[in-house]
Amino acid sequence: MCAVERWVFVRVLVVEDDASLGQVVQRGLAEAGHSVDLERTLAGARRAVAIGTYHVVVLDLGLPDGDGLALCRELQTAAVRPRVLILTARDATGDKVLGLDAGADDYLTKPFDFAELAARVRALLRRPEHARSPQLRVADIELDPAAHTVRRGGVLVPLTAREFSLLHYLMDRAGEVVTRTDLLDAVWDTNYDGLSNTVDVHVANVRRKLDLPGRPAPIETVRGVGYRIGPEVPT
Ligand code: CA
C-alpha cells in the first residue's frame, strides 16, 4: 500500500428498464468499486446527468419513454462528456454503426457476460481523455471533432448535434463559399424536404451562439449563394 492513497471514485450511471438486469449490473459494478446510480427511463437518465457528473454511462437503447440513442447524442455536447457504453439487445451491424456514430465509445449486445462488461468499463476508464483527431480552428473558434466540443475564446459553446455538424462542415472548408445545397446534402439527408430556410435558420442559431459582445461570429453570408467562415470578422 502506498503511504498516501487517494480513492478516486468512478461514478457510473446505469440506464436500464429491466429491473432485475439493472440491479445485477448496478450491484456488479458497485462490487468492482464504482459508485453506481440506476435509472430506468430516459427522463430519469436525463435528470441524473443534468445534476450528476458521471465518468461512464451504461446505456440501454430500448427504454419505455424513448430511445437511448437520443441521450447518447445529447451527451456529446455536455461540458463534461462521460464515456458511453451501449448495452442492448439490438445486435444488427446497422444498429452498432448507429450507436457508435451517435458517439458511443463502446457497444455490447445482450445477452452478455458480466465479466466482459466490467472489463469494458475498465478499458473505457483507461482511455486517454480523448483519442485526438485534429482540432479545427478559425480565428478564436476551436472545434474538436473527437470531443464534439466547440469553444470560442476558450469558452465552451453548447451547440445541438445539427448545429455542430453544420459548423464542422463550414470550418472544414474555411475560406470557401459553401452553398445551401452543400449544407443540406451534408448536414441533413439528401431527400430532406423541409422548409427551404432551414439552413438559414440553423446558421443564424450557430451565429447567435458564437457571437460575443463586439465580436460577431466570423460567418459571412454570400448573398444568393451560401456561407463562408473565415478568419476575418464580417462587418
Ligand atoms: Ca430495455
pLDDT digits (tens, 9 = 90+) for 60-87: 999 999 999 999 999 987 767 899 999 9
**Is pLDDT larger for residue 191 or for residue 143?**
143
Distance between Cα 16 and ligand 1 center (Å)? 6
**Residue 3: its pLDDT value, please?**
29
What are the residue ranges spanned by the domains of the chain? Answer: 2-130, 136-229
Q: Is the pTM of this model over 0.75?
A: no
pLDDT class for 96, splitting at 50, 70, 90?
A: very high
CA 130 to ligand 1 center in whole angstroms: 29
Distance 129 CA to ligand 1 centre (A): 29
Residue 8 pLDDT greater than 90, yes or no? no
User: At residue 233, does pLDDT exceed 80?
Assistant: no
Architecture of domain 2-130: 3-Layer(aba) Sandwich (3.40)
Tell me the average pLDDT of the chain.
86
Q: How far is the CA of 68 from the centre of ligand 1 (A)?
A: 9
Write down the pLDDT at residue 189: 56
Arithmetic mean of pLDDT, 17-43: 93
Q: What is the pLDDT of residue 112?
A: 96
pLDDT band of 129, cuts 50, 70, 90: low
Q: What's the 37 CA to ligand 1 centre distance in angstroms?
A: 17
Taking the C-alpha atoms of residue 226 and residue 196, their distance in angstroms, rounded to an integer, is 13
The arrangement of secondary structure in 136-229, i.e. its CATH architecture, is Orthogonal Bundle (1.10)
